[in-house]
């Protein structure tokens, strides 16, 4: 009972309060047990407004940001989703709960193994594949209906938007600390992409990301 109260407070006081009003998104956050994806040492903070530590200096994204991502991507039943950076597997499970068929790339083998364990325990029936791979080595041939990067790019990379199908959406955070911009990119046609800045935030940088050249005289 206390867990369900804490979950509802997370949704109402954090997620909805940050203008996440889509009921499918809010219902997904009710259905996916965030506490079961949180490392045991941090489980008492599963519903807190914070980025919870994982291995290798990684973080679980806070609930508000998860809500913003899910609302922006507008996942439809049967869509093919690519997630770059599996982390705990919580966002992965939410994307699949919304109807997506999720392929999630995770660079670190131990994080991937932990995510698979979490997903097996809490979301075994969902269409999810966790693959040990470097997201910066994304195949040019693959195409997806939605792509989400759970870490930021200091310099925007068009390789990700090119992997969208027409009508596809890309969620990516671009920039350098302390100011980064969460951006939604839509592919409207073979050579037509449109981007929209959604909000400002600051999250960890994607490993092996490309940085802008250093300024010099």
Domain for residue 168, yes or no? yes
Total domains in the fold of the chain: 1
Inter-residue long-range contacts of 113-120, CB under 8 Å, 24+ positions, other chains counted: 114/54, 114/55, 114/88, 114/89, 115/86, 115/87, 115/88, 115/89, 116/89, 118/36, 118/37, 118/88, 118/89, 118/90, 118/93, 119/89, 119/92, 119/93
Give the span between the Cα atoms of 148 and 94, in whole angstroms. Answer: 12
**Residue 68 · residue 94 · CB < 8 Å:** no
Within a domain: 15: yes
Q: What is the average pLDDT across 92-117?
A: 98
In a domain, 118, yes or no: yes
CATH number, domain at 60?
A: 3.40.50.150
Distance CA(93)–CA(75), nearest Å, equals 13
Q: What does the pLDDT read at residue 216?
A: 55
Q: Look up tokens 């994080």; give the residue.
A: 111
111 Cβ neighbours under 8 A, 6+ residues apart: 54, 55, 56, 58, 86, 87
Residue 186 has pLDDT above 60, yes or no: yes
Mean pLDDT, residues 113-135 taken together? 97
Assigned domain for 161 exists? yes
**Is it the case that residue 1 has pLDDT exceeding 80?**
no
Q: Which residues contact 83 (CB under 8 A, 6 or more apart)?
A: 91, 92, 95, 102, 103, 104, 105, 147, 148, 150
The pTM of the full predicted model, rounded to 2 decimals, is 0.96
Angle made by CA atoms 162, 164, 165, in degrees to the nearest 5: 120
Render pLDDT for 79-89 as a digit per residue (tens, 0 to 9).
999 999 999 99
pLDDT score of 142 = 87
Would residue 207 count as lying in a domain?
no
- pLDDT attached to residue 215: 59
Look at 213 and 143; give whichever has higher pLDDT. Answer: 143
Are residues 66 and 43 in contact, defined by beta-carbon separation less than 8 angstroms? Answer: no
pLDDT at 133 > cutoff 70: yes
Would residue 210 count as lying in a domain? no
Quick one: pLDDT band at residue 141, thresholds 50, 70, 90? confident
Summarize pLDDT for 9-58 with one digit per residue, the tens.
Answer: 999 999 999 999 999 999 999 999 999 999 999 999 999 999 999 999 99
Q: 108: domain range?
A: 2-201
Tens digits of residue pLDDT in 205-217 = 999 999 998 755 5
Give the residue-averaged pLDDT of 114-141. 95
Residue 24 resides in a domain:
yes
Q: Is residue 209 part of a domain?
A: no
């Amino acid at each position: 009972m206390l867990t369900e109260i804490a979950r509802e407070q997370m949704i109402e006081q954090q997620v909805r309060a940050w203008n996440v009003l889509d009921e499918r998104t809010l219902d997904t956050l009710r259905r996916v047990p965030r506490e079961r994806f949180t490392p045991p040492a941090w489980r008492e903070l599963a519903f807190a407004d914070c980025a919870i530590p994982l291995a290798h200096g990684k973080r679980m994204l806070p609930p508000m940001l998860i809500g913003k991502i899910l609302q922006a991507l507008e996942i439809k039943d049967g869509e093919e989703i690519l997630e770059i950076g599996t982390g705990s597997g919580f966002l992965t499970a939410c994307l699949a709960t919304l109807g997506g068929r999720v392929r999630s790339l995770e660079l670190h083998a131990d994080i991937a193994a932990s995510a698979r364990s979490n997903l097996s325990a809490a979301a075994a029936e969902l269409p999810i594949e966790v693959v040990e791979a470097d997201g910066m080595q994304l195949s040019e041939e693959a195409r997806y209906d939605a792509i989400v990067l759970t870490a930021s790019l200091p310099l925007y990379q068009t390789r990700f938007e090119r992997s969208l199908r027409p009508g596809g959406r890309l969620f990516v955070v671009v920039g350098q600390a302390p100011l980064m911009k969460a951006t939604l990119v839509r592919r409207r046609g073979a050579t037509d992409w449109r981007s929209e800045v959604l909000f400002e935030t600051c999250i960890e940088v994607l490993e092996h990301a490309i940085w802008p050249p250093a300024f010099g005289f």
